[in-house]
Amino acid sequence: MSDSANPGGAPNPRAARASAQAPFMVGGLMFGLLVLIFALPSFIIIAAGMIPTVLARALPATPDQKRGALAVAMLNFAGVLPVLAMLFSRGHNLNNAMQLLGEPLPWMLMLGAAGIAVMLQSVLPNAAISVMERAAQQRVHKLKVQQKELITEWGSGVQGETEPKKSSPKPEPQPGPAPGAKPGP
């Protein structure tokens, strides 16, 4: 039996998918190798600067934290871009990349941007909740004022509350034949 067939003779979808992805994987590896060869200084800066993104992606377990990892990645990359601009302004070579990684300002830019993302992800949801609660409280207050105005104009019957009806006593069951029983002779 071949590797791409199940015991029942049907093709294995996992093996078919892997064989379809093989050219893309080889292409991606070749592209990565070219980037390493021709853009090694930029790759070093990006690899060092994106460490917070790798950690944010590796650590979370909940979907909310994974969305937070995306925010960290975006702002982290925004912090890496000025450092890449510094590298290109000094000259795109390995010596300048190592010098940049030895200075504190590039690290403050790269890690500071990721830190801002973490802060925003922890502060903004609570701020949004506070704003929404305040808006709901104002809406409730406005509705109560309108309700009072309607009561003064139309009377207390507008509230929808009516006096409870007095329930009539239930008739006591009369002794008699059991339901479904046949009457006697």
- pLDDT (tens digit, 9 = 90+) per residue, 52-67? 988 888 886 677 777 7
How far is CA 20 from each of CA 12, 13, 23, 28, 174, rounded to the nearest angstrom?
Answer: 13, 10, 7, 14, 81
pTM score, whole prediction: 0.57
Q: Is the pLDDT of residue 21 over 50?
A: yes
Among 70, 85, 88, 82, which residue's Cα sits nearest to residue 107? Answer: 82
Per-residue model confidence as pLDDT tens digits over 76-104: 999 999 999 999 999 999 999 999 999 99
Domains of the chain, by residue range, sit at 14-129
